[in-house]
Each structure stands twice: as structure tokens, then as C-alpha cells.
Chain A
Amino acid sequence: MRAAVLGSWKVRIGLGIIGLFTLAAIFGPWFNSVVIGYNAKALNYFAIGQSPNSHHLLGTTSTGQDVLAQLIAGSRNSLLVGALAAVVGTALAILFGVTAGFFGKGVDTVLNFITNLFIIMPVFPLTLVVAGYLQGTGPVTIALVIGVFGWAGGARTLRAQTMSLRNRDFTMAMRMIGESRIRLIFVEVFPQLSGWVSAMFLHGVIGGVLAEAGLAFLGISNPDTVSWGTMIQNAQQQNAILNGQWWWFIPPGLCIAAIGTATGLINFGIDEIASPRLRSVRRAVVKRTRRRTEETSGGLPQPEEAAV
């Protein structure tokens, strides 16, 4: 199954995009100082608001900062928050989902109720308000807040999967032998869920990036950090739109869009493999076959009497 998943071109492109940004996140500042030559935060009052040119490939901000450098450096913060949020979110999803699915009855009722509650509640405003209360808004804090409020959807899936696993013959057999439930969870159930968990983690990273950007845009961010969200926010505050400085806010948005598209593609690809019916057969292929058959066999055999 894993091989099939990686074989889909949609999944490959999606993973490729994410891979590219991960590289940017890891090597960003080094790349900035060595290749581009500008620090993301370096102010330069001699180069304010320049449109893209040979010195600054993506132009500069209203304080002379190089946009491209910011973009690359920003990927680190964005992805960091995304990854951390995903870790927290996935951990919580496993905690709630697997426990509820495995132990059932009372435990399940309570945990499931909490999960349903978090699914329905408007998470973003909630995140916004809580983040608004908190005094320190460094990347770690933001990631924690995003993770704590965003695990519910994954928990529901894991619960359903765990419940179906629990009812399968091999689990029942092991429980009859007397296998301890904790051991069962770790040794038997987890490996089966690994596919779901990794998909959920990936989703969580991307969701985290989007949430961070949204929060930063609304002003919830550490003033020191440079991330795609803060770039857009700064652009908004400095009236980039009114000044026509499209190079400032369009590239970071495109990066976020790229990450979002990567998710979509991966989802699409996985969906198609999970249910092959979604792999649409091109009508062109069918028409081609029919035409070919008619040509080679000299048309379909003549009916005895003309049809109606």
C-alpha cells in the first residue's frame, strides 16, 4: 500500500513541495547569508520598498528588508510551528481516539463527547482568544495553542479505526488468551494505525502552518520572528496594498498556498488509491477502444433485420 501511495504522481508532487520547503527551513539562514547575502531582518534604509530587481530578487519591504531572504527564513518558523503543533495535536488525537476506541463503554462515552465538542466548536476564534490572553507569544506557545485546539478531527478517525481493529478476530483472540490490554495497544494496534497517524501528522503540519499564518496575520506573533504570516501582517500594516507593493505579500501567500496545495494533492492521491473507483477512466480511452474495434473488425456485424 505504501508503495502504491508513493507511486501516485499527485502524492509525489505534494511530497516534493513539502520537501522543498523543509530544505528551505533547515538551510534557510545559511542559504541567506551565503548565497543571497542578506539577513532576513537586516534593515536597509537605502533600499526601501523596491520592486523586484537584480539586487533584490523579490524586492524589499518598507524598511529595506529583502523579501526573498525573509521568505526563506520565514519557512523555518512557519514549518517549526506547524511541526510542533502537529506533534501536540497528533499526540492528543492518539490519546483521546485510541483510548476511547479501545476501552469502550464509559471511557469511550466521556472521551467521545469531549472529542465531538472540540470538533464542533469554532476552533480558530477560540485559539485566537486564548492566544490573545497569553503574554508570551513565541513560536512554542503558539504551536501549543494550535495543537491543543486542533486534535479533534484526528481523534475521531483514530477512534473509529481502533474500534474496528478491536473487533477484529486477532484482537479478540489475544484478549481471550489474556494478553494485557496496554501491551495489546502498543504491540498490535499501533502498527496498524501507523498509516493513519502519519497522514494525520502531515495534515497537522500543514494545518499548523496555515493556523500560524492566520494568527500572525491577526497580530498574534512574537515581534522578533519572521514567518510567512508575519510578513503578510507587516505588509498589511504598512499598507502594502495601497502602495502597490505586491511583491511583499504575494510571495508568502503563494508559499502558504503551495503548502496547502501539497496537502490537497496528497489527500487526493491517497483517496484515489484507497478507493480505486475515484480513479476516473478517461472517456477518451473508451472512445478510442470502440473506434479501434470498429476499424479492425470492419464494423460490428450487421443485424438480421434493421433495428428500430
Chain B
Amino acid sequence: MTQATADVTLAEESAPRAAGRRNRGFLLRRIGFYLIAAWSAITLNFLIPRAMPGSPADSVIATLQQKGGALTADTVASIQKIFGQPRTNIFHQYWNYLGQLAHFNLGLSTSSYPTPVRSLIGQALPWTLLLVGITTILAFCIGTSIGIICGWRSGSRLDSTLSPLSTFLAAVPYFWVALFALWLFGFQLGWFPLAGGYDPNSAFGSSPRFWISTLQYGLLPALTIVFSSCGGWLLGMRNMTITTTSEDYVLLARAKGLSPRRVIFRYAARNAILPQFTSFALALGSILGGALLTETVFTYPGVGHLLYQAVSNRDYPLMQGILLMTTLAVLVANFIADSVYVLLDPRTREQGE
């Protein structure tokens, strides 16, 4: 070993230790971003009703009085904390708002008075998590796997048929596919029920009949979501796989004589999935939007449908509550996705933002 190489080697020995330090810095920065984002979401939630024309606070109070007669002073105060206290300094209002939020008090729903917003969301949340959570992951996995095959065998019959098809499917709006599916499979063919999340005749949560009916009612919405969103993932993964396949490290892997399966998965797909994963994280926000519409079409008792009802009824407290919850949920999901990404790609531990 020449002197030059010896010197270079010595200098580089400390690299592994430095890498560990950079790791931590990166993670801290990301946490910082999400904390600030969460704070921004809360603040935005605070500002929106105060920025809107008219006085939402008064309108809420008026609606509630119409429904339930006189309101206690506490209730009025809590409403004003969310929507706007007259004659109070805005920072004071902000402070009160944060305080109320810390107690998980999101106010009372006007359309389902006197149910607190918190419980309404609590009831609807599991349905949405079940439907949207499972189907999104399913669509991602299916789309990505087929995308790998299409990308590796680009130009083959499989690819030439699936790619244009996926383009079309990815472009069709969710809710229309939902309507179409509902009409075709629910109405015309009668295979699936037309509305709801479970059999209204069975007791909630107890019998096996209830659980089976959840599957039955949930299948069509689930299939719709998987069907429409699969295409986007397929195309993305296909394109990334094609790009990755022409990279030098895949060439080297083939030159090594490794089995095709190993080359495809350990070398090509393993690298192609990184940008795919990033777009998955970024798409979480719009997936939620799509779920909102799908639930509405199928009258599925999830958070999306709840929001729709809230907007239709101008139920401001409920609207605000759902908005805040969904925003925070998306932030948490993004944070998880980010962290997983760091595990997947060793290079990110080097870079900051």
C-alpha cells in the first residue's frame, strides 16, 4: 500500500462515527418540522373562523339556541373560544383556544346537539381507518408489485396493455368510479348493498352477523378505492423501475450472475421504491380527499361522510373539529412515512433538509 493510500485510509476511518452524529441531526430537524407544522395547523384552525365573513360564533350560538333552548354560560364561552370572542384581545383568544384544545374539547355539534364533536369523530374514525387505511395500503402494494413487473419487462404484452389502462384508471375521479360501481353492482346487479357500513338490523358491535355485515358493506367501497388508486401506483413504480433498470448497479448485478429474482428485488426494485414511497407520503393528503368523496357516495359512516354532513348542515364546530383532526392525522402519517424512509435509504442520514 503506498503512502498516499495509507494517508487516505487513515482519514476515512473516522467516517462511521461521524455518520452517527449526522443521523441524529437529521431526525431532529424532521421532528422540528412536524412540530411546527402541527402548530401551524392548530393556528390555522384558530384563524379560519375568525377570518370568515359574518360571525360564525354568533351563527353557532343562534343555531344551538334554536335547537335546544337556552345555553349555559359555559357552553357559550367554549363556543366563543373556538370561533371568536368579541371584545377580547386576539392573543388572549389564542391562549384560551389552546387551553380548551388541551382538554380535547372540540365543542358541541350543532346538527347533533348536544353530542360533543369529540364523540362523533370518535365513532366515525374507526370506520375510516378501517376502510381507507387498509385499501390504501392494499392498493399501494398491488400497484407497486405489478408496476415492478411491468417496468422490468417493459415493452412486453403485459406492459403494453396495463400501462395505458392504468393511465385511464388513474385519471378517472374516485367518486365517479364509486357512483358507477354503486349503480352497476349495487343497483343493476344487486350484488352489494346500496348504503351504510353495516347491516342496520343487527345490533351494533356484538354479534358475528354484525361483523360479517361490515365486510359485506365495506367490500364495494374498498374495491372501488383499490381499483381507482392502483393505477397511479402502478405507473409510478413502472417508470421508476425502468429508470432503475438502466442504472449501472443493475448492470453490475446482472454481470455478477445473480439470479433474476435477486437482481429485480434486491437491486432494481429496492432502489425504485424510494421515490415511490416519497410520493406515497405526499399523496396521503389527497387520499384523504378521495376517501371523503367515496364515503359520501356509499353513505359509509366514516369521517368523510361526517364532514359532508357537517358542511351540508353548516355545522361549524363539527367542521372545525374534523378539519383539525384530519390535518393532524395526516401530519402524523407523514412523519411515520418520513421515518420509515430514513430506514429505507441510508443516504438520507447524510443529508439535512
Contacts and interface: CB of A to CB of B under 8 A. Distances in A.
Interface residues of A, number: 52
B19 interface: no
Nearest to B168: A261
B115 to A, nearest CB: 19
A116 interface: yes
B318 to A, nearest CB: 10
The B interface is mostly helix, strand or loop, or mixed, namely helix
A134 B314 CA distance: 10
A183 to B, nearest CB: 31
B53 interface: yes
A70 to B, nearest CB: 16
Interface of B: 33, 36-37, 40-41, 48-49, 52-54, 56, 153-156, 159-160, 163, 167-168, 170-173, 175-176, 179-180, 182-183, 186-188, 194, 235, 239, 242-243, 246, 282, 284-286, 288-290, 292-293, 296-297, 307-308, 310-312, 314, 316, 319-320, 322-323, 326-327, 330-331, 334
B187 A260 contact: no
Given A134-B52, A281-B155, A124 B292 contact: yes
12 contacts: A119-B282, A122-B288, A124-B290, A126-B327, A128-B311, A134-B52, A217-B293, A220-B311, A232-B179, A241-B182, A241-B194, A271-B239
A275 interface: yes
B86 to A, nearest CB: 18
Given A220-B311, A246-B183, 6 more contacts: A120-B331, A122-B330, A125-B322, A217-B296, A236-B297, A277-B243
Contacts of A260: 171-173
B167 A268 contact: yes
A265 B170 CA distance: 11
B173 A219 contact: no
Interface string A198-227: 000000000000100110011110000000
A133 B48 contact: yes
8 tightest CB-CB pairs across the interface, nearest first?
Answer: A124-B289, A260-B171, A253-B176, A280-B155, A280-B154, A264-B171, A132-B311, A133-B52
A23 interface: no
